[in-house]
Structure 1
Amino acid sequence: MIRDKIGFGIIGCGVISETHRAQICEIEDAVLVAVSDENPEKARDLAAKADADWYSDYREMLKRNDIDVVCILTPSGAHHEMTIDAARAGKHVITEKPIDTTLEKAALMIEECEKANVKLSVISQHRFDSSTNKVKKAIDEGKFGKMILGQASVNWYRSQEYYDSGDWRGTWKLDGGGALMNQSIHTIDLLQYLMGPVESVFAHTATLAHERIEVEDVAAATVKFTNGGIGSIVGTTCAFPGLSARLEVFGTLGTAVIDDDRLTHLYLKETAMNLSAHYEVNAKNLAEIQEKQTETGASNPGAIAGNSHRDQLQDMIAAIREDREPLVNGREGVKPLEIILAIYKSAESGKPVKISSLYDSVIQ
């Protein structure tokens, strides 16, 4: 039986937990029942904002029968263990990005959730942005023609203090990577979502501006898509004071630019005039560039707007009520992870890396 209000629990009360708490509390048919964190003070403070219960041991929280969904907001390398525990307790799961740090762990998460007949969703909130939806719809309707070029760049800034603020930050074991895995993953996800699957990558990564971290703070990769298109991925946490996350996609019939989640440029040949008269092109920008600029995570990870998070949380509720897969399920959550891991492998080997040959045997 599905209750009138879907009960939520939060595991991990760090920076992003306030976004999840605030958005759950905005949803009419949802209620935040309890939160947990190894640090009792963090758990207590977050719980107080929602009149919820708190725990220092998430396993105790999972015993409650009034929790339907848990949001796992812990360091990336801990997602798989907590997801498996939640699935075996009969809870639906939403994990923050990335799904985890390895494809083997991701496969276990998907397998355990399917075995327990619970739903798994991975936060990729920008798939729910109006800018993304408008471009995706035009591409799916054939208005862009053949997709030929995609460019993703995330030129953000994180201080040394940011990395020093937690002993898990900047580690391979728990962070799983640096500027790509932690900061650029959403834009990389949108790149493959709009351009189509990635076939191979060739990359360079480096740690150039931060100390005491194991992972990259600068990365650049060329990309080949399975449809024949090509592209690039650039990510850094060294771009003081923090610039934009920008996605550009080009087809034979159209162009779109999404900058800091706003659709700033949208051109379609079907709406253009004078395409051949004296080589002049009179193209109309169909983008809603008057959209209000919201705060981004360019320099402050706590400044990420929450509206699209709410849309994804509501999608999980709808998936439960309609007994369907969430729009960004576990297998969708694997896609940006496998691209990033291929980039790391290419940077290490100095050779191009084919994604299909590496990962087909892991994710069936």
Structure 2
Amino acid sequence: MTEKIRFGIIGCGVISDTHQSQIRDIEEAVLVAVADENPDKAKALADRADADWYVDYRELLKREDIDVVCILTPSGSHKSITLDAAKAGKHVICEKPIDTTLEKAYEMIDACKKANVKLSIISQHRFDSSTIEVKKAIDEDKFGKMILGQAAVNWYRSQEYYDSGDWRGTWKMDGGGALMNQSIHTIDLLQYLMGPVESVFAHAATLAHERIEVEDVAVATVKFQSGALGTIVGTTSAFPGLSARLEVFGTSGTAVIDNDKLTHFYLKEAAENLTDHYGVEVQNLVKSSDEEQGTGANDPGAISGNSHREQMLDMISAIKEDREPLVNGLEGIKPLEIIAAIYQSAKTGQPVSLASIRQLKTVQ
């Protein structure tokens, strides 16, 4: 029998059920204990998962029968908990964003490296079948020269959502608004498929919610290092919550991923009758639909955990094979850099290069 990798969960909020249910469904994993400063939340999750529970996460970290901890706390606390986990010799899976500033993110990476533990940042949509198929085609040069990428997350969060925790909607603990919390996965996929971003020019505002410091709507134009162009739109004000949509275009291919599903996929190599200057009839290469998944458009608890499971399996393999996880700390920093540049551009009213953001090491 394969030895199981033993997990702990720190933070028993909305996303914790996704993590515990996926750990439960992995044959080579077992959830040992959970922790949350709210004892009711900790006990409730522990009861559902048949695990031990703690109020102080440091007590969980003292256990020798835990190999990996999933950090699911507010974004601004990720660094401090990761440093404690690394010191305790635990591998870390950290929910997005890696933290609220690049400076803290690099501290996390350095601490895990020095402690010889793995660090993986949840970017589960890289493990979606739709992403894998498009990425493969791009890497095989079937898209030709990449020319345009468009990311739009038109989601909805009520005022009650922001009022449900005094940390929500704050720069210190949330790290940002519609971009940092709701749009970060689609922004990550944009750069993952289109390539590195060179610069952005952006506007951001708080237009639909009260008593929050951060944006509930933002728009940005993007220039990629390849010369391709792009756009990013993110909001939590699109009642009642629409789609997260990613469109990528090359000279020889087009793909649209809508709510995590590949809805349009065209390759010029599969086209016939290319004589019409105004467009041609081309077969959509989309295969049979995957199982319907929750998207979180208006309910963060509705997010499907299937791709979380794939990322956890990657961490388990990384531990057993002694390699880096596919989405390690350096990969987790990439969407944070883009969002930091957008915030800086919105603040200054000027274009901002990613190179300058790396020097600033800040988000605000």
Q: Please state which band the TM-score falls in when normalised by the shorter chain.
A: over 0.9
Instruction: In structure 1, give the amino acid aligned to 2:154.
Output: N
After TM superposition, the score normalised by the length of structure 1 is 0.97
Separation of aligned partners in 1, 2:32 and 2:254: 45
Q: CA deviation at 1:306?
A: 0.4
Q: CA deviation at 1:292?
A: 3.6
Q: 1:321 and 2:315 equivalent?
A: no
Q: Aligned to 1:32, what secondary structure does the other structure show?
A: strand
Separation of aligned partners in 1, 2:124 and 2:310: 8
Q: Deviations over 1:217-252 (max 9, x none)?
A: 000000000000000000000000000000000001
Correspondence for 1:139:
138
Correspondence for 1:156:
155
Correspondence for 2:178:
179
Q: 1:243 and 2:242 equivalent?
A: yes
Q: Aligned to 2:100, what secondary structure does the other structure show?
A: coil
Separation of aligned partners in 1, 2:77 and 2:279: 56
Q: 1:291 and 2:290 equivalent?
A: yes
Q: Aligned to 1:90, what secondary structure does the other structure show?
A: coil
Correspondence for 2:125:
126
Correspondence for 1:33:
32
> Which sections of structure 1, spanning at least 5 residues, go unmatched?
none
The answer to whether the 8 A contact 1:34-1:53 is kept is yes
Correspondence for 1:111:
110
Instruction: In structure 1, give the amino acid aligned to 2:210.
Output: E
The answer to whether the 8 A contact 2:35-2:54 is kept is yes
Separation of aligned partners in 1, 2:165 and 2:360: 34
Residue identity over aligned pairs, in percent, reads: 75
The answer to whether the 8 A contact 2:143-2:254 is kept is yes
Change (3 A) 1:242 1:313: same
Change (3 A) 1:262 1:280: closer
The answer to whether the 8 A contact 1:274-1:280 is kept is no
The answer to whether the 8 A contact 2:69-2:93 is kept is yes
Q: Deviations over 1:185-238 (max 9, x none)?
A: 000000000000000000000000000000000000000000000000000000
Matches within 5 A, 1:253-292: 253-276=252-275, 281-288=280-287, 290-292=289-291
Separation of aligned partners in 2, 1:141 and 1:262: 21
Separation of aligned partners in 2, 1:100 and 1:281: 46
Q: CA deviation at 1:334?
A: 0.0
Q: Aligned to 2:12, what secondary structure does the other structure show?
A: coil
The answer to whether the 8 A contact 2:340-2:357 is kept is no
The answer to whether the 8 A contact 1:188-1:336 is kept is yes
Change (3 A) 1:279 1:347: closer
Instruction: In structure 2, give the amino acid aligned to 1:64.
Output: R
Q: CA deviation at 1:294?
A: 2.0
Q: CA deviation at 1:357?
A: 2.8
Q: Deviations over 1:106-160 (max 9, x none)?
A: 0000000000000000000000000000000000000000111000000000000
Aligned-residue CA RMSD (Å): 1.3
Separation of aligned partners in 1, 2:8 and 2:230: 39
Q: CA deviation at 1:277?
A: 5.0
After TM superposition, the score normalised by the length of structure 2 is 0.97
Correspondence for 1:303:
302
The answer to whether the 8 A contact 1:264-1:288 is kept is no
Q: Aligned to 1:66, what secondary structure does the other structure show?
A: coil
Q: 1:89 and 2:88 equivalent?
A: yes
Correspondence for 1:13:
12
Change (3 A) 1:10 1:245: same
Q: CA deviation at 1:361?
A: 7.8
Correspondence for 1:46:
45
Separation of aligned partners in 1, 2:105 and 2:279: 51
Separation of aligned partners in 1, 2:179 and 2:130: 22
Separation of aligned partners in 2, 1:328 and 1:20: 17
> Which sections of structure 2, spanning at least 5 residues, go unmatched?
none
Correspondence for 1:202:
201
Q: Aligned to 1:220, what secondary structure does the other structure show?
A: strand
Separation of aligned partners in 2, 1:32 and 1:278: 58
Change (3 A) 1:349 1:158: same
Q: Deviations over 1:247-285 (max 9, x none)?
A: 000001000000000000000000000112575512110
The answer to whether the 8 A contact 1:265-1:289 is kept is no
Separation of aligned partners in 2, 1:278 and 1:336: 37
Q: Deviations over 1:139-185 (max 9, x none)?
A: 00000001110000000000000000000000000000000000000
Q: Which moved more, 1:48-57 or 1:78-87?
A: 48-57
Aligned residue pairs, count:
361
The answer to whether the 8 A contact 1:107-1:362 is kept is no
Q: Which moved more, 1:72-81 or 1:46-55?
A: 46-55
Separation of aligned partners in 2, 1:344 and 1:180: 9
Separation of aligned partners in 2, 1:331 and 1:113: 12
